[in-house]
Amino acid sequence: MTSSAIVGFGSYIPKFRIKTHDIALHWKQDPETLMAGLGVEEKSVPDIGEDSFTLAFEAAQEALETSGIPSSEVSAIFVGSESHPYAVKPTSGMLVSALKLDPYSHAADLEFACKAGTAGVQIIDSLIRSEQARFGIAIGTDTAQSKPGDALEYTAAAGAAALLMGPSTHKGAICRIEKTLSYTTDTPDFWRASDKPYPSHAGRFTGEPGYLGHTRETIQKILRETDTKIEEIGHVILHMPNAKFPMRIAKECGISKSQMEAGFIVPKIGNTYSACSLLGLVSVLQKAKRDERVLLVSYGSGAGCDAFLMTMLKDGVPLPIDARPATYLKYDEYLEHTRALTH
């Protein structure tokens, strides 16, 4: 059976930001206390007119460019998001057209909270291994919503990451997927009804048995399944709802700061939901060295984890430097941007 590999990748993060400090001051809370608890200095904010489709397009376009593969040869695309622009009209279908992919494509929108993007990676991996597709794109993209004044407001951010995948035998293969598995339960830690603009969360479930319990269990399972020791892995990427939770898991599981460093992006952009762990992976894919092993573990509330053990087939491939300077918003300007997403 053919194994799959990442042959191209891309990302897109809006240029707009808001400082956690400014959100805290607006709600008359202590910024230093919040920083100590969350570890997020600032978060990305979509421009007015940007949505999960436009973010996904930019990331996927960059993935195609880094791979050098003609878009017409891509015959699968799966898009994970909590914020698809339409309830009934597929983001994936719009991207098939906008990116000029093969119209005879497997395409679907996915939802599983913050792990919907990695669910797409698993589907593309299966299609390539079974030789039903030669090249496919998996995308995580979100313009995360949070009710003003809610704890989520300090971290809910916007961004997209895209992985272009193909056979590991392809000359452009960058990183081979060795093993993937999932762990799933019914855990009511976070939800949003279809008629509600903002999500709700049960604080007592978000750590244990939610993120912490699921991530811990999934890391242990994939290490057992592959007979791998954690110190044999060069880079580890976990879902990053904040800075505190992944670092706590890293400490429990014996993961060093150096193993986490390359993919630990949350302090400067916040939690980009379905794009979060994939953006961490994109960061690693630019810096990792040939033969290094990479462990990716995503998490989606509700709840579940996807885990991937991968091996670098060549040195990392740097993406073009984003020349756009960050533009910082005041709280009233930030509200104007976010209101456009919920109306």
- Phi and psi at 74, nearest 5°, equal -90, 120
Residues of the chain with pLDDT under 70: 1, 190-191, 195, 197-207, 340-343
Rounded CA separation 256/278 (Å): 20
265 CB-near residues (< 8 Å, 6+ apart)? 240, 279, 280, 283
Is residue 223 helix, strand or coil? Answer: helix
pLDDT of residue 205: 47
Tokens 């792990």 correspond to 115
Rounded CA separation 155/166 (Å): 33
pLDDT of residue 150: 86
- Which of 84, 243, 88 is CA-nearest to residue 160? 84
Amino acid, res. 111:
E
For Cα atoms 1, 79, 179, give the angle at the middle one, nearest 5 degrees.
Answer: 30
**pLDDT tens profile 237-268:** 999 999 999 999 999 999 999 999 999 999 99
Tokens, residue 314? 């060549």
**pLDDT tens profile 260-307:** 999 999 999 999 999 999 999 999 999 999 999 999 999 999 899 999
- Phi and psi at 328, nearest 5°, equal -95, 130
For Cα atoms 17, 18, 20, give the angle at the middle one, nearest 5 degrees.
Answer: 135
Tokens, residue 259? 């193993």
pLDDT of residue 340: 64
pLDDT of residue 33: 86
222 CB-near residues (< 8 Å, 6+ apart)? 179, 181, 228, 295, 297, 307, 309
CB atoms within 10 A of CB 1: 7
Structural domains in the chain, sorted by start: 4-173+325-342 (3.40.47.10), 178-312 (3.40.47.10)
Largest separation between any pair of C-alpha atoms in the chain: 58
pLDDT of residue 231: 97
For Cα atoms 121, 245, 177, give the angle at the middle one, nearest 5 degrees.
Answer: 25
Under a CB-based contact definition with an 8 Å cutoff, are residues 27 and 21 in contact? Answer: no
- Phi and psi at 166, nearest 5°, equal -155, -170
Rounded CA separation 164/147 (Å): 34
What radius of gyration, in Å, describes the C-alpha atoms of the chain?
Answer: 19
| Cα-based torsion angle of the residue sequence 153, 112, 72, 180 in order, rounded to the nearest 10 degrees | 120
pLDDT of residue 151: 84
| Whole-structure pTM value | 0.95
Which helix (H) or strand (E) segment holds residue 312: the answer is: strand 304-312
Amino acid, res. 277:
S
Residues identified as active-site: 82, 114, 239
Amino acid, res. 66:
T
